[in-house]
Chain A
Amino acid sequence: MAVDADVRAPAAPLAGALGTRLRRFGELTREVLRNPTTMIGLALIVGMIGMAIFAPLLIEPNTPNPYQMPRDWGALNEPPGTPGHILGTTQQGGDVLYGVIWGARTSLRLSLIVVSITVVIGLIVGSLAGFLGGKIDEFLMRLVDIFLSIPELIFALAIAAVLGPSFGNIILALAAVFWVKYARIIRGQVIHIKQNEYVDAARVIGDSSLRIYSKDVLPNSITPVVVQATLDMGNVVLIGATLSFIGLAEAGLAEWGVLVSQGQAGISAGRWWASTFPGLMVFVWALAFNLVGDGLRDILDPRTETKR
């Protein structure tokens, strides 16, 4: 049954990929604003990142290393509410609020560095595997499978153990573990694009592999990579704090996991605050990024896109 046939020229697949993305960005922000849980997550993220960035303004940085917990020998184990120490102090006289705020800064550094490194590594490995195919692809994907067969925390634990306990090594360990998902995503995209007919069309026109790559693979991969990166921003801190909790970071570091660990000793004596507040921050951080990541995933899911 023919209804008024509004015949348009098929959208040029090569030129459109990036442009469509940008147009969708506007719709995307509108969708995000409509979803309450995502908004809450976003608000929390903004709050915590703000806390991290403005840390020196919010609370006097410790000297010489602001990332080390300050020690106030005159105020050991103070409960929350004591003047000057709203959230109380630790067994070494460290201000819990200081740990919370500067811990945010530490976490931000950790997650940004790790996520950046892993995205890049995943991009490289995934592209190589996808484009080159054959034995190299098989080898790399086997490698990815092997990495995935070791549970994340345990793998990171082993690597950090081998490298030696330090925060820098935690960063390396996490990077070594978290890159695999991106490799898979990118490789999947490359293969999908390779099989697509319009790549053959592009080749016929004479587009080089590089152009195809930047015009089609990258823009189409942005979505799942962004979703994964958002979720990882949360999970990296979660696992990083766990590693620090177990003891793989330097003692006295202004980091949430370290603080929770050191606060453990006081629990039997009823001193709950040194562990509770930093731990709460880890939870809120992971929660916020998970909320936003999930919200993004729901919005960007190709199935929900076509429903509109």
Chain B
Amino acid sequence: MQIRDYVLRRMMVLPILIIGTSLIVFTLTRVGGSPIGIYLSHEMTPEEVAEVEQRYGLDEPLPVQYLTWAGGMLTGDWGWSGVAAAPVRQVFPDKLGATMELAVAAGIVAVALGIGLGTYGGARRDRLPDHLTRVFSISGAAMPIFWFGILLLIVFWVGLGWAPIGRSDADIFQSIAHPTGLYTVDAVLAGSWNALVDAIWHLILPAIALGFGTTAIITRMMRSSLVETMGEEYVDAARAKGLPEKLVLRRHARRNALIPTVTVIGLSFGFLLQGTVVVEIIFRWPGLGRWMADAVLRGDQATIMAYVMFTSVLFLLVNLVVDVMYAYLDRRVVLGA
């Protein structure tokens, strides 16, 4: 079937893009800084340093070095993180859990709220609700995340003393097991009400800060998409069949309007990932983003390389999924119509 071909075609391009990205990342690190930096730590003796040099073939020509590094990435040797004083691979999962929890929470809210607001405004075109949602979406897209986060802190943390900083209260956190690495899920699994409340309480502010801009982007896309769809002839044709307006809106207008919105949702995932760097700094969230920020400031190349590769691959995969969904929803794309 044609969709299968389309998916296969897209999937075949993927490895090329990943390899290309890795080449760029690799080149970046060779451009500046010591090439062996990522595998070393300060405690090593000169003999150990020489041994590392030999092991990773750092006296070898560049292409070989690249292959060694790439091989390492694929087999699990991601180098040594100066910032964390531990192998990158070891520290990664915990921090990944923290960031994913934040990003997913923000993402779910952004998508649900964005589609809802966009539909609400678009269906009432040029009336007050529409104007309000448009103001929201334009200001949200231009909002610097770091500023918004700080404002939230000033108002809610300092001013009102409500939400706390960090991911959790240390005691409560340690009182339950963490099979998934996602605090909220772990709390539910452990049946601990205290932990769940603690998790959500800490999650609220950073999730809002992170999701605000994304919500705005999705709202705006949904609204303009819906307005455009409502003007299509088939919407009038649906009314001419005697369908109630709610059904026309739901089955004909909104479903078709969702299609372009889906691609924006994919793109906004990248926006979310970027945002985690800043939000984690401000709210002292122990995730990948903050780790990356520290790595950047302290020249921790292993972390930088691993982080960039990880986010790129993730971004590519998400966009692939989105494109496939898009092809599924809009059959015309598959035929190249």
Q: Which residues of A contact B (CB under 8 A)?
A: 37, 142-143, 145-147, 149-155, 157-165, 234, 238, 241-242, 245-248, 257, 260, 264, 267-268, 270, 272, 275-276, 279-280, 282-283, 286-287, 290-291, 294
Residues of A within 8 A of B145 (CB): 242
Taking a contact as CB atoms under 8 Å apart, the answer to whether B144 and A267 are in contact is no
> Which residue in B33, B142, B151, B308 is a CB contact (below 8 Å) of A154?
B308
If the complex has contacts A154-B307, A161-B304, A260-B150, are A149 and B17 also in contact, measured as CB distance less than 8 A? yes
If the complex has contacts A267-B153, A267-B158, are A153 and B282 also in contact, measured as CB distance less than 8 A? no
How far, in whole Å, are A283 and B144 apart by their CA atoms in the complex?
A: 6
Who on chain B is nearest to A165 by CB? B297
Taking a contact as CB atoms under 8 Å apart, the answer to whether B17 and A145 are in contact is yes
How far, in whole Å, are A152 and B307 apart by their CA atoms in the complex?
A: 14
Taking a contact as CB atoms under 8 Å apart, the answer to whether B271 and A151 are in contact is yes
Residues of A within 8 A of B297 (CB): 161, 165, 246-248
Taking a contact as CB atoms under 8 Å apart, the answer to whether B138 and A246 are in contact is no
Q: Is B274 an interface residue (CB 8 A)?
A: yes
Q: Is B3 an interface residue (CB 8 A)?
A: no
Residues of A within 8 A of B277 (CB): 153-154, 157, 246
Residues of A within 8 A of B21 (CB): 146, 149-150
Residues of A within 8 A of B87 (CB): none
> Which residue in B32, B142, B154 is a CB contact (below 8 Å) of A286?
B142
How far, in whole Å, are A37 and B141 apart by their CA atoms in the complex?
A: 15
Q: Is B65 an interface residue (CB 8 A)?
A: no
How far, in whole Å, are A239 and B287 apart by their CA atoms in the complex?
A: 21
User: B129-155 toward A: CB 8 Å interface, digit per residue (1/0)?
Assistant: 000000000110111111100110110
Instruction: Pick 16 A–B contacts, CB within 8 A, sort by A.
Output: A145-B17, A149-B315, A150-B308, A150-B312, A151-B315, A152-B274, A161-B296, A162-B28, A163-B31, A164-B32, A234-B142, A242-B146, A248-B296, A260-B150, A275-B147, A282-B144
Q: Which residues of B contact A (CB under 8 A)?
A: 16-17, 20-21, 24-25, 28-29, 31-33, 138-139, 141-147, 150-151, 153-154, 158, 270-271, 273-274, 277-278, 281-282, 292-293, 295-297, 299, 304, 307-308, 311-312, 315-316, 319
How far, in whole Å, are A146 and B278 apart by their CA atoms in the complex?
A: 24
Interface centre among A157, A247, A294 (most CB of B within 10 A): A157
Who on chain A is nearest to B21 by CB? A146
Taking a contact as CB atoms under 8 Å apart, the answer to whether B304 and A283 are in contact is no
How far, in whole Å, are A240 and B250 apart by their CA atoms in the complex?
A: 42
Interface centre among A151, A159, A272, A275 (most CB of B within 10 A): A151
Taking a contact as CB atoms under 8 Å apart, the answer to whether B296 and A157 are in contact is yes
If the complex has contacts A246-B278, A276-B150, A279-B147, are A154 and B293 also in contact, measured as CB distance less than 8 A? no
Residues of A within 8 A of B25 (CB): 158
Residues of B within 8 A of A248 (CB): 296-297
A185 to chain B, nearest CB (A): 17
> Which residue in A142, A155, A267 is a CB contact (below 8 Å) of B16?
A142
Interface centre among B158, B274, B316 (most CB of A within 10 A): B274
Taking a contact as CB atoms under 8 Å apart, the answer to whether B147 and A151 are in contact is no
Who on chain B is nearest to A285 by CB? B142
> Which residue in B31, B311, B316 is a CB contact (below 8 Å) of A162?
B31
Residues of A within 8 A of B304 (CB): 158, 161-162
Who on chain B is nearest to A286 by CB? B142
How far, in whole Å, are A234 and B144 apart by their CA atoms in the complex?
A: 11
Residues of B within 8 A of A241 (CB): 144, 146
How far, in whole Å, are A142 and B146 apart by their CA atoms in the complex?
A: 33
Residues of A within 8 A of B144 (CB): 238, 241-242, 279, 282-283, 286
Assuming A260-B150, A267-B150, A276-B147, what are 16 further A-B pairs, CB within 8 angstroms?
A: A143-B20, A145-B17, A149-B316, A149-B319, A151-B273, A151-B315, A154-B273, A154-B307, A162-B304, A238-B144, A246-B278, A257-B146, A260-B147, A267-B158, A282-B144, A290-B142
A-B pairs, top 8 by smallest CB distance, nearest first, are: A279-B147, A153-B274, A161-B296, A286-B142, A151-B270, A287-B142, A146-B20, A162-B32
Who on chain A is nearest to B297 by CB? A247
Residues of B within 8 A of A276 (CB): 147, 150-151, 154
> Which residue in B143, B154, B319 is a CB contact (below 8 Å) of A267?
B154
Who on chain B is nearest to A244 by CB? B146
How far, in whole Å, are A199 and B158 apart by their CA atoms in the complex?
A: 65
Taking a contact as CB atoms under 8 Å apart, the answer to whether B308 and A283 are in contact is no
How far, in whole Å, are A287 and B319 apart by their CA atoms in the complex?
A: 27
Taking a contact as CB atoms under 8 Å apart, the answer to whether A246 and B147 are in contact is no
A279 to chain B, nearest CB (A): 3
Residues of A within 8 A of B20 (CB): 142-143, 145-146
Residues of A within 8 A of B138 (CB): 37, 287, 290-291, 294
Who on chain A is nearest to B272 by CB? A151
How far, in whole Å, are A241 and B282 apart by their CA atoms in the complex?
A: 15
